[in-house]
């Protein structure tokens, strides 16, 4: 026997699978016409598949424990509903299987022939216990593994929510995502997010999932009562075990987990998740859920706060950008490193550059064609003073030439120099306007017009205007004896002198009609002394003419004689003409009177109407002239005459 | 509410279409339908989650139960049209190790039929 048993033991040690060992052990026991039953708890699954070798039945622990005695084979068969053995056995032996002090089953052997089963039985028990232990260990590892998976899911979810919260999204899609995320993470059945409306201060539903909003939508939700009042007072996430007591949370069946969205120490919203799911059905949220939920809610609050700051910053930036792009002054912000941080549309337009290509580049790139600006900037970098340069010529990126008034100011943040701001007043358009206007009006009028656009009235309006006509006497006969080039040259030189006088006295050159000048005072800008200016113009014209005549006399040219007529009164001023040609001028009876007075004035005479005379500060030199009967006038016109020597 | 919106047999596959939250309720509905088909000897399932954009771990664990059942009978569960958040949850839960996923139903049918 011992040698057979030894061989059997050798066989066993060569077999690695515990199942095969168990099977062999059972076979060995049953070799001696014995019967081996192994009764195990049905939950011990790994032994199920060797059903062919051993009996695995449901086990009643209590029964076994209570009746821990040696049963007869019949009693045993009845107890465990086994098919009664046809063989009558004389003896029975029971071996209890326990793992870690816990009873797991028993091995029951019925036999007739005495045999030493002890070693086999102990070996079988050891193998089965070992297997059960391994199975328990496997279950524990699986459970831990599942727990680990859930923890991984939670950690991944925290990463996800961080990413989600940092995304540049609008509130609605962001909070929809947040709610979906929370529902999924906490196995919740439903959920809802409220946010406070900035204007009404009431709370509105921002997002919901599986939630019947019919009752909620008609409610005014404030933090003065109900669940929001409690959240406002506690500022804490909490589990609400009887959600139905709050009208807003009536949808909850078991319990609800709630959290406040806090921004600037104020309750700005709330999040509620309802009825946690488990494999067995609905369950309640626990303290572990609350801890995780609270940490996420705090993150959401922080993000909500940041989101508001970002939105307000964006709004501010948008507003500043709008202001900056609407102003005509070019603005460039340069940082301490000399890099361009900001350039507005006007500055881009002045230098004809694309702002995007200039941002973050050194200013030397923008001003590479403008050494003078570079020099000033270098000086400004080493100074804390404001630099100003007027009418500075600049070269644009497209090699055009322009002019600007340049100001460079240092910028200080909390007393620390943070760079410079360059402002550029584009003079190109102003200069164009000036050069065009200067042909018609004096520079002082142009400047005033540019400074004060309201003073310019280009529509058809009735105004008090002083009109001066100056005509060359005997020009036709004079020009007949001269070559045409000389006539033109003579006239141009004469007009140049006369117009200078006009502008000097704030007159506006209305037009040159042949050899006649028509000058206005009081349009487009009226001054208090328009009449005096007109008379002064007339007197100075004669003075200039005297000098002019002396000059041309030396050149062998004939002297020029002029007569001047001036009238003051209401005229209609405006842009008069057709679509093709339109001129700003004045029309009316008083214009005609001025022309008539001029036509009757003899060479060296200034004739002014009574209306002009009455407005003069200095009227010396004028004598009352005999009334003149002018064409188109029923009554003679009172007038005053000055004879200029 | 989440539900199975359609089940059809196509190219040797039982295609189950879902709508909404893949939670315990929807998971169990899918499981019931799948088990009925398994009883009838149909062993290859394609779960089209195009209209489901949210899942929880209970829903995922029920799908694992279905996969276990199918493994016992040499059957397969395939998934298609997974929203990113669902795919991520399935990956973490280890579900995608045992069942192949496809971007679209047509891609699944082309490869499996």
In terms of domains, do A175 and A290 share one?
yes
Cα end-to-end span (Å), chain A: 168
Q: What is the pLDDT of residue A56?
A: 46
Q: Which structure tokens are listed for A502? A: 């006009």
Residue A485 CB-density burial (10 A; 0-12 exposed, 13-18 middle, 19+ buried): exposed
For residues A232-261, average pLDDT: 92
Kindly determine whether residue A210 and residue B21, on different chains, have CB atoms separated by under 8 Å: yes
SS3 state of residue A159:
helix
Write the ipTM. Answer: 0.72
Whether residue A281 and residue B54 make contact (CB cut-off 8 A), yes or no, is no
User: Residues of A528-543 as b/e, b for ≥16 C-beta within 10 angstroms?
Assistant: ebbbbbbbbbbbbbbe
Residue A94 has pLDDT above 90, yes or no: no
CB-closest option in B23, B62, B92 to A153:
B92
| Token output for A27 | 């076979």
- Judge: B21–A209 Cβ closer than 8 Å, yes or no: yes
- In this structure, the answer to whether residues A421 and A461 fall within a common structural domain is no
Cβ contact A127:A107 at 8 Å: no
Return the closest-CA partner of residue A386 out of A417, A351, A422, A362.
Answer: A422
Structure tokens at A147: 């727990």
The distance from CA A197 to its chain's CA centroid, rounded to whole angstroms, is 21
**pLDDT tens per residue across span A272-303:** 999 999 888 899 999 988 988 998 898 888 88
The two tokens of residue A108 are 């029951």
Please give the residue that has the higher pLDDT: either A52 or A104: A104
Q: Regarding predicted confidence, which is higher, A492 or A30?
A: A492
In 3D, which of A272, A232, A277, A268 has the Cα closest to residue A248?
A272
Calculate the dihedral angle through the C-alpha atoms of A81, A84, A88, A92, rounding to the nearest 10 degrees: -20
The pLDDT score that the predictor gives to residue A645 is: 65
- pLDDT for position A51: 43
Structural domains of chain B ordered from first start: 3-112 (3.30.750.24)
Within-domain flag for A148: no
- The answer to whether the beta carbons of residues A507 and A519 sit under 8 Å apart is yes
Looking up residue A473, the CATH number of its domain turns out to be 3.30.70.1230
End-to-end CA distance of chain B: 32
- Give the nearest partner residue to A277 out of B54, B56, B93, using CB atoms: B56
The pLDDT of residue A199 is above 80: no
* Residues in chain B closer than 8 A to A278 (CB atoms): 24, 58
**Could you give the CA distance from residue A59 to residue A108 in angstroms, rounded to a whole number?**
13
Q: Is the pLDDT of residue A150 over 80?
A: no
Burial (CB count within 10 angstroms: exposed 0-12, middle 13-18, buried 19+), residue A68: exposed
B1 contacts: CB under 8 Å, gap ≥ 6: A210, B20
| Last-in-domain residue among A282, A311, A340 | A311
Cα–Cα dist A446/A442, whole Å: 7
Q: Are A618 and A634 in contact (CB under 8 A)?
A: no
* Same domain, residue pair A229 and A113: no
> How high is the pLDDT of residue A12?
62
Average pLDDT estimate for A139-155? 80
Residue A402, token pair as written in the block:
């322009």
CA separation for the pair A285, A186 (Å, rounded)? 8
Residues A494 and A608 in one domain: yes
User: pLDDT of A531-560, one tens digit each?
Assistant: 999 999 999 999 999 999 988 888 888 888
Structure confidence at residue A410 (pLDDT): 87
- The whole-angstrom distance between A164's CA and the closest CA on chain B is 12
Across the A/B interface, how many CB contacts are shorter than 8 Å?
A: 47
Query: Encoding tokens for residue A212?
Result: 């019947």
Beta partners for residue A576, in sequence order: A583
Query: Within 10 A of A155 (CB to CB), how many other CB atoms are there?
Result: 11
* Distance, CA of B45 to CA of B9 (rounded, Å): 9
Q: Is the pLDDT of residue A179 over 60?
A: yes
Q: What is the CATH number of the domain that holds A86?
A: 3.30.450
Give the gap in angstroms from C-alpha A148 to the nearest C-alpha of chain B.
10
In a domain, A225, yes or no: yes
Same domain, A118 and A230: no
Reduced to 3 states (helix: H, G, I; strand: E, B; else coil), residue B83 is coil
Query: Shortest CB distance from A278 goes to which of B21, B53, B58?
Result: B58
**Which neighbouring-strand residues pair with A257?**
A239, A273
Same domain assignment for residues A342 and A369: yes
Tell which phi-psi region holds residue A358, choosing left (phi > 0), alpha (psi between -120 and 50) or beta: alpha
Q: What is the mean pLDDT of chain A?
A: 81
CATH number at residue A355: 3.30.450.20
Q: How many angstroms separate the Cα of B83 from the Cα of each of B5, B8, B35, B61? A: 18, 22, 25, 18
Count other Cβ atoms within 10 Å, centred on residue A553: 11
Query: What per-residue confidence (pLDDT) applies to A436?
Result: 61
Min Cα–Cα distance to chain B from A160, Å: 9
Mean pLDDT check: name the lowest of A176-180, A378-382, B28-32.
Answer: A378-382
Q: Would residue A152 count as lying in a domain?
A: no
Contact predicate A410/A383, CB 8 Å: yes
Cβ contact (<8 Å) for A189 and B23? Answer: yes
Contact assessment for residue A595 and residue A514, using Cβ atoms and an 8 Å cutoff: no
Q: How confident is the model at residue A263 (pLDDT cuts 50, 70, 90)?
A: confident
pLDDT: is A108 or B20 the higher one?
Answer: B20
Query: Which stretches in chain B have pLDDT values below 70?
Result: none
Judged by CB atoms closer than 8 Å, whether chains meet at A277 and B23 is answered as yes
Per-residue pLDDT at A239 exceeds 80: yes
Single residue among A286, A311, A336 that ends a domain in this structure? A311
Q: Which residue of A has its CA nearest to B85?
A: A181
Interchain proximity A187–B23, CB inside 8 Å: yes
User: Are residues A604 and A483 both part of a single domain?
Assistant: yes
Mean pLDDT across the stretch A8-33? 72
Measured CA to CA, the distance from residue A523 to residue A441 in angstroms comes to: 10
Can you tell me the distance from the alpha carbon of A193 to that of A204, in angstroms, rounded to the nearest whole number? 8
Please judge whether B24 and A277 are an interchain contact, meaning their C-beta atoms are less than 8 angstroms apart. yes
Residue A388, helix vs strand vs coil: strand
A51: closest CA of chain B, how far (Å): 18
| Comparison of pLDDT for A467 and A19, the residue scoring more | A467
Nearest residue, CB atoms, A187 vs list B1, B56, B92: B56
pLDDT in tens, A394-426: 887 777 778 888 999 888 877 777 889 999 888
- In B, which residues are within 8 Å of A185 by CB distance? 56
Tokens 């596959």 found at: B13
Question: Helices in A482-522 by DSSP H: which ranges?
Answer: 484-504
What residues does A471 pair with on adjacent strands? A516, A563
Q: How far apart are CA A261 and CA A239, in angstroms?
A: 16
Write down the pLDDT at residue A450: 62
What per-residue confidence (pLDDT) applies to A48?
47
Lowest mean pLDDT among A131-140, A322-331, A433-442, A619-628: A433-442
Interface contact flag, B53 A180, Cβ < 8 Å: yes
Domain around A615: 457-643
| Residues of B contacting chain A (CB within 8 angstroms) | 1, 21, 23-24, 53-58, 61-62, 85, 88-89, 92-94
Residue A465 near residue A522 (C-beta atoms within 8 A): yes
Number of structural domains in chain A: 4
Stronger pLDDT, A288 or A192, i.e. the higher one:
A192
Respond yes or no on whether the N-terminal peptide bond of residue A524 is cis (omega within 30° of 0): yes
Residue A211 sits in the same domain as residue A355: no
Average pLDDT over residues A352-371: 87
Asked if A568 contacts A531 with a C-beta cutoff of 8 angstroms, the reply is yes
Picking from A45, A167, A184 by the largest number of B CB atoms within 10 A of its own CB, the best residue to mutate is A184
The highest-confidence range among A9-13, A102-106, A460-464, A581-585, by mean pLDDT, is A460-464
Maximum distance among all alpha carbons in chain B? 33
Distance of CA B68 to the CA centre of its chain: 13
| Co-location of A268 and A336 in the same domain | no
Query: Could you tell me if residue A145 is inside a domain?
Result: no
Whether residue A295 is found in the same domain as residue A176: yes
Rg (CA), chain A: 55
Do A306 and A334 lie in a common domain? Answer: no
- Asked if residue A264 is part of any domain, the answer here is yes
pLDDT beyond 50 at A83: yes
DSSP 8-state class, residue B55 = B
Lowest mean pLDDT among A111-125, A307-321, A424-438: A424-438
Question: Can you tell me the distance from the alpha carbon of A179 to that of A189, in angstroms, rounded to the nearest whole number?
Answer: 11
The number of beta carbons lying within 10 Å of the beta carbon of residue A445 is: 22
Residues A302 and A418 in one domain: no
At A239, list the tokens. Answer: 């589990």
Place of tokens 């939508």: A217
């Amino acid at each position: 026997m011992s040698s057979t048993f030894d061989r059997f033991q050798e066989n066993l040690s060569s077999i690695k699978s515990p199942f095969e060992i168990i099977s062999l052990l059972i076979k060995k026991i049953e070799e001696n016409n014995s019967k081996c039953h192994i009764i195990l708890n049905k939950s011990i699954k790994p032994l199920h598949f060797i059903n062919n070798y051993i009996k695995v039945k449901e086990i009643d622990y209590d029964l076994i424990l209570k009746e821990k005695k040696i049963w007869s084979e019949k009693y045993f068969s009845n107890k465990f509903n086994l098919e009664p053995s046809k063989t009558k056995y004389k003896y029975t032996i029971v071996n209890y299987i326990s793992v870690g002090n816990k009873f797991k089953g028993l091995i029951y052997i019925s036999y007739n022939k005495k045999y030493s089963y002890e070693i086999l039985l102990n070996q079988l028990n050891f193998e089965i216990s070992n297997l059960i232990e391994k199975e328990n260990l496997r279950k524990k590892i699986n459970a831990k593994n599942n727990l680990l998976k859930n923890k991984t899911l939670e950690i991944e979810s925290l990463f996800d929510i961080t990413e989600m919260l940092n995304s540049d999204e609008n509130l609605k899609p962001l909070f929809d995502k947040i709610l979906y995320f929370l529902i999924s993470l906490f196995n919740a059945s439903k959920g809802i997010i409220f946010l406070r409306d900035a204007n009404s201060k009431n709370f509105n539903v921002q997002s919901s999932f599986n939630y019947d909003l019919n009752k909620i939508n008609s409610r005014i939700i404030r933090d003065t009562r109900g669940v929001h009042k409690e959240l406002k007072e506690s500022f804490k996430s909490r589990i609400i075990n009887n959600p139905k007591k709050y009208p807003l949370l009536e949808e909850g069946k078991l319990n609800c987990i709630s959290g406040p969205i806090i921004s600037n120490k104020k309750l700005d919203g709330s999040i509620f998740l309802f009825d946690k799911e488990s494999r067995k059905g609905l369950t309640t949220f626990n303290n572990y859920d609350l801890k995780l939920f609270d940490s996420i809610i705090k993150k959401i609050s922080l993000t909500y706060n940041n989101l508001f700051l970002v939105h307000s910053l964006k709004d501010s930036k948008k507003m500043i950008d709008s202001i900056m792009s609407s102003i005509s002054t070019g603005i460039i912000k340069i940082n301490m490193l000399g890099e361009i941080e900001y350039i507005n549309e006007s500055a881009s337009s002045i230098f004809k550059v694309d702002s995007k290509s200039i941002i973050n580049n050194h200013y030397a790139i923008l001003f590479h064609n403008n050494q003078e600006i570079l020099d000033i900037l270098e000086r400004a970098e080493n100074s804390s003073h404001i630099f100003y340069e007027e009418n500075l010529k600049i070269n644009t990126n497209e090699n055009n030439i322009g002019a600007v008034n340049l100001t460079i100011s240092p910028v200080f943040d909390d007393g620390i120099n943070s760079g410079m701001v360059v402002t550029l007043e584009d003079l190109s358009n102003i200069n164009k306007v000036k050069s065009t206007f200067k042909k018609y009006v004096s520079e002082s009028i142009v400047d005033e017009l540019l400074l004060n656009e309201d003073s310019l009235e280009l529509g058809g309006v009735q105004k008090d205007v002083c009109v001066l006509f100056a005509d060359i006497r005997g020009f036709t006969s004079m020009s007949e004896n001269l070559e045409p080039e000389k006539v033109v040259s003579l006239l141009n030189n004469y007009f140049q002198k006369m117009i200078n006088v006009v502008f000097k006295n704030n007159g506006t050159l209305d037009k040159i009609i042949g050899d006649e000048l028509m000058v206005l005072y009081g349009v487009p800008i009226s001054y208090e002394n328009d009449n005096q200016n007109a008379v002064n113009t007339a007197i100075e014209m004669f003075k200039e003419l005297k000098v002019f005549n002396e000059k041309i006399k030396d050149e062998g040219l004939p002297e020029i004689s002029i007569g001047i007529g001036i009238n003051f009164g209401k005229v209609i001023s405006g842009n008069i003409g057709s679509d093709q040609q339109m001129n700003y001028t004045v029309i009316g009876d008083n214009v005609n009177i001025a022309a008539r007075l001029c036509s009757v004035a003899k060479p060296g005479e200034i004739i002014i109407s009574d209306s002009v005379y009455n407005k003069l500060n200095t009227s010396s030199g004028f004598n009352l002239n005999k009334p003149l009967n002018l064409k188109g006038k029923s009554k003679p016109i009172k007038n005053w005459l000055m004879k200029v020597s | 509410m989440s539900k199975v919106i359609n089940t059809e047999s196509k190219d040797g596959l039982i295609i189950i279409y879902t709508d909404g939250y893949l939670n315990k309720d929807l998971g169990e509905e899918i499981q019931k339908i799948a088990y009925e088909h398994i009883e009838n000897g149909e062993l290859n399932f394609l779960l089209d989650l195009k209209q489901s954009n949210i899942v929880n771990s209970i829903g995922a664990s029920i799908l694992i139960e279905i996969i276990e059942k199918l493994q016992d009978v040499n059957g397969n569960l395939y998934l298609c049209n997974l929203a990113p958040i669902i795919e991520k949850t399935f990956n973490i839960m280890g579900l995608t190790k045992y069942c192949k996923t496809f971007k679209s139903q047509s891609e699944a049918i082309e490869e499996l039929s």
